[in-house]
Amino acid sequence: MAASLRRTHGEIAVADMFADFDTRQLAQVTQLKHYPWSARDWLRRGNVNAWCYTGGIENYPRLIARLAEEKTLLGNGPEVLRKVRDPFWLRQVAANVQLAFPVTAKIGEVSPVDFQRSDWLLKPFRSAGGLRVADAARPIKSRRFYWQQKVAGQPMSVAVLSTRNRWQVIGLAELQVGPSYGAPGKYIFAGAVTSEMEIDPELMKWIDVIHHQAKMIGLWGIDFIQTDRPTLLEVNPRWTATMPLYDRCIEKGLMNAHVRACLNEDVSIKRQPNSTATAMNRILYADQEVQFTDEMLRQVLSALDLSPKNPLPLPATADLPMPGTRIELGHPVCTLYAADKDQESAEQTLHQNIAKVQCIVFGDEISEGRNL
């Protein structure tokens, strides 16, 4: 997100939990020790005139409201968040316009003894990237979770840009989820690949309904399951993990369009001519605990040719930890990117780069058991 913004804006500031190496090359970075609660003090003291958010902070609409009192918010405010992050609001919208949404129930409405457990999920109201989503295995009383019936099919996402007057689809992507792609949990996001699949008319209707009823603005996305029809899972009301895949082939970058949309300008997304057909990303998760060192960083930068000739705003990797960072088992090491003329070529490049980083960080050749 910072890389995209840097393409068209001079100086930017970033505050987050990790303050990774590559982010520090792009912006003035502050590491928030009490994330996300210390964000308000940072914003109050910082020399910025506007701000926007991404990631799990969307789960705290009250905090978003307080931050918006400090400086101008470029993005969806707390009223929007309370709607689109509520699965029961989405359930009602689906019922009203006859669109597909999984059977969803509150804790207390039903119990695992009332249904075939293997067909249901236990999902937290506050989550991101599939964290803490689990198969329904036991009775639970916590109101921080809800039940949702599983839907078989291909997990996908669509990226959208909304202005006050209209919306535009930026692109579609197939989501890669779970241990088959190296993620430490069954429902945890691991990566994505852009898709040239024609957009289903029902998905277009979903986008239109959410855009108008929630009054969306700027960049946002929908996660859904594609079967014979798209079944919506959740709305992500901000920059998403798939947007770097499109940002590489959009003139002036997606964050430039986001800022302009939030300032009530009419914006049209234009793809660069001769842009690559397929783009992919993959999060490399640690399969053992490791300390990231200066030498590891040097070798990764060299192996992936991250030099002045390969500008940071369009890197082969991102989220590189600072030397000295202790990476726990199952935690992300970094994110790898690849783009090429077709999916097979992009996958080959991506897998080669993953293998290089694994060899550098974990000090051994890639074993047959590791998933790429």
Domain membership of residue 238 (yes or no) is yes
> What are φ and ψ of residue 332, in 5° steps?
-65, 140
Tokens 């855009």 belong to: 211
Q: Which of 101-110, 112-121, 257-266 has the lowest average pLDDT?
A: 112-121
Between 275 and 313, the higher pLDDT residue:
275
Q: What does the pLDDT average to over 250-265? A: 93
- Beta-strand pair 120-124/154-162: unpaired
Q: Which of 127, 101, 105 is nearest to 114 (CA)?
A: 105
Domain membership of residue 44 (yes or no) is yes
Looking at the fold, whether 333 and 292 belong to one and the same domain comes out as yes
Q: pLDDT-derived band of residue 26, with 50, 70 and 90 as boundaries?
A: confident
Domain membership of residue 270 (yes or no) is no
Looking at the fold, whether 65 and 128 belong to one and the same domain comes out as no
Distance from C-alpha of 91 to C-alpha of 221, rounded to nearest angstrom: 17
Identify any residues that bridge with 176 across adjacent strands, giving them in sequence order: 191
| pLDDT of amino acid 115 | 60
The dihedral region occupied by 311, where left means phi > 0, alpha psi between -120 and 50, and beta the remainder, is: beta
Domain membership of residue 95 (yes or no) is no
Q: What does the pLDDT average to over 185-193? A: 96
Task: Give the length of the chain.
Answer: 372
Percent of the chain at pLDDT > 70 equals 91
| pLDDT of amino acid 114 | 61
Looking at the fold, whether 357 and 285 belong to one and the same domain comes out as yes
Looking at the fold, whether 55 and 181 belong to one and the same domain comes out as yes
Looking at the fold, whether 194 and 293 belong to one and the same domain comes out as no
Whether 332 has a pLDDT exceeding 90, the answer reads yes
* Domain's final residue, options 216, 233, 262: 262
Non-local (6+) Cβ contacts of 178 within 8 A are: 185, 186, 187, 188, 190
| pLDDT of amino acid 368 | 41
What's the sign of the alpha-carbon dihedral 237, 240, 242, 248? Answer: positive
Tokens matching residue 319: 């989220």
Looking at the fold, whether 188 and 214 belong to one and the same domain comes out as yes
Coil, strand or helix: which one is 208? helix
Q: Which of 54-63, 172-181, 308-317 has the lowest average pLDDT?
A: 308-317
pLDDT digits (tens, 9 = 90+) for 263-272: 999 998 887 7
Looking at the fold, whether 175 and 234 belong to one and the same domain comes out as yes
Domain range enclosing 334: 278-362
Whether 312 has a pLDDT exceeding 60, the answer reads no
Q: What does the pLDDT average to over 321-335? A: 96
Whether 134 has a pLDDT exceeding 80, the answer reads yes
State the CATH number of the domain containing residue 235. Answer: 3.30.470.20
Looking at the fold, whether 285 and 303 belong to one and the same domain comes out as yes
**Which class for 194: exposed (0-12), middle (13-18), buried (19 or more C-beta within 10 A)?**
buried
* Neighbour count for residue 37 (Cβ, 10 Å): 12
User: Domain total for the chain?
Assistant: 3
User: ∠ at Cα 241 (240, 245), nearest 5°?
Assistant: 105
* Domain's final residue, options 262, 290, 316: 262
Domain membership of residue 272 (yes or no) is no
Looking at the fold, whether 183 and 71 belong to one and the same domain comes out as yes
Domain membership of residue 271 (yes or no) is no
| pLDDT of amino acid 119 | 85
Whether 366 has a pLDDT exceeding 50, the answer reads no
Domain membership of residue 81 (yes or no) is yes
Q: Which of 92, 96, 74 is nearest to 83 (CA)?
A: 92
State the CATH number of the domain containing residue 332. Answer: 3.90.1170
| pLDDT of amino acid 137 | 73
Q: Which helix (H) or strand (E) holds 299?
A: helix 294-303
Q: What does the pLDDT average to over 270-292? A: 88
Distance from C-alpha of 162 to C-alpha of 76, rounded to nearest angstrom: 10
Tokens matching residue 277: 């057909």
Average pLDDT of the chain? Answer: 90
Rg (CA), the chain: 20
> What are φ and ψ of residue 359, in 5° steps?
-65, -40
Looking at the fold, whether 134 and 162 belong to one and the same domain comes out as no
Coil, strand or helix: which one is 364? coil
Looking at the fold, whether 30 and 179 belong to one and the same domain comes out as yes
Coil, strand or helix: which one is 90? helix
Whether 275 has a pLDDT exceeding 80, the answer reads no
Q: Which of 137-141, 168-172, 176-180 has the lowest average pLDDT?
A: 137-141
* Neighbour count for residue 292 (Cβ, 10 Å): 22
| pLDDT of amino acid 132 | 84
| pLDDT of amino acid 143 | 75
* Domain's final residue, options 149, 169, 185: 149
Domain membership of residue 110 (yes or no) is yes
Looking at the fold, whether 82 and 108 belong to one and the same domain comes out as no
| pLDDT of amino acid 367 | 42
Q: Nearest 10 degrees: CA dihedral of 220, 225, 229, 230?
A: -10
